[in-house]
Structure 1
Amino acid sequence: MAEPALKPANTQADSSPVLSLRGIQKNFGGVTAIENFSLDLHAGEIVALVGDNGAGKSTLVKIISGVHPPSEGVMELSGEAVRFADASVARERGIEVVYQDLALADQQPVYMNMFLGREPVRGPLRVLDRRGMIEATEKLVRELDVRIPSVRATIRNLSGGQRQGVAIARATHWATKLILLDEPTAALGVAETAKVEELVASLRARNIAVLIISHSLDQVFRLSDRICVLRRGRQIGVRRTNDTDKNEIIGMITGLIESEPA
């Protein structure tokens, strides 16, 4: 697949970070899943998190999104120290996650999925505001160019790429700070992957910070501004994408290149 020109120069690198992680550690009993991890994420920036299976990538996403509390370390959101009691608190603070399984309700239409768990109501009888949900969903899918037959279409009738587009659109609708993407194109074909990558790249213009987990280094180099490498729970290094290459990143992932100061 030809590499599309998706990645403009990032202009947010010198701004205050949306999310700052300092000395994050996560222990499960006697097992250390994440060890002394530090990273800043900026608005309008896409950072890729890479590493082999078991490196700790998904654990780190769950810490940021409030699923797991860190055992040690400090997490700051827009300069304020935070410690989320659960995932709902992280969502209230503007952090959204798109998992591999998408967490969509297959039997419901697109517009209901967009507001799943946050359905607006109107009037004294508090009936669902379906018209408002439909209008808001139509506006967002137009803005993001999510190509679906209709916002009234049932999720189960959409393709894998269309479903992923809906999941990312939902995250975009609710996120004010950060979107976490866990292997967003793992089960997609070439054409659907290209469309989802365009959608992810468009998040820069919405001034949202993005952290993406991907097993595809081709995708990582197309999309990201910086690349953070994890190996066995340890942070090996962070590289600006334009200043590194696949050989260096593979060496960091596999252990041919040891950790060094950022």
Structure 2
Amino acid sequence: MCRDGQRVDEDDIISRILHFDEFDCFYQTEWVPRKISIDWIIDPTCPMYAMQSIDENKKPFIVIRQLPDTIDDAFLVAHEMGHVIKYFDKQYMEFMRAPTPIAKMYKEEEIKDMGNILGSMVDDPLIDSWLQDKYGFSPAHFYSSVLMPGTFESLDSYGDPPYEWHIFKKALYYSQLSLQMESIRDKDTLREWDRLKERYRTRRPKVTRIGEELYSLSRERGFDSIEKQRQLFSEILNRYRINSIKLGDILHMK
């Protein structure tokens, strides 16, 4: 899970982007007072632009592909730090293997990966909206210059995955993107999102159908508190099936 890269000191990361007012205000207001200790890792091979997770000792870590330089990099680092803050503040949903015989068919890494993607579906939009509204970051710039071009490229590479497990993971990501776009007002970014949705419909119709369902359900139920998230995830775990197996028989909320 992208943990084989080079460990670096936090200052090696932060010092490069503190000159951005948005990041400096975020860092001094949210991070410094909490005195959070995490591991930082640089791994150019990480399949994601950046990621955050918790190790076996319950210590958070953040992996980024390269040392940050631009405002988009600063936004990305702040975003991953936002996940750590939610964990630190106990506003972070965690998932585990369900105590069922069928769940034993799945590898631990598969269970953890699905849980992370499920949680990110709602956490990523919440964090991005918070960084935009409170600290003046521009998620729209990151979406249009980094996130959506990468997604276009992946859609051009292949269509719907052959396995239902992977279809559902991609559908969660589609729903996440849709929820992230809710807070965007930049017209160019929204036009690009319309183009991306059309590409999804053409290239991944199964993913799009389930993703639209998840998006609508998330909007209807709400997800701006842990209590609402528990209700939403409980409904998702009970409603959706993978290879005729209820998702809740594979994955449980902690």
TM-score (ref. length: structure 1): 0.25
TM-score (ref. length: structure 2): 0.25
Q: Higher strand share goes to which structure?
A: 1
Q: Higher helix share goes to which structure?
A: 2
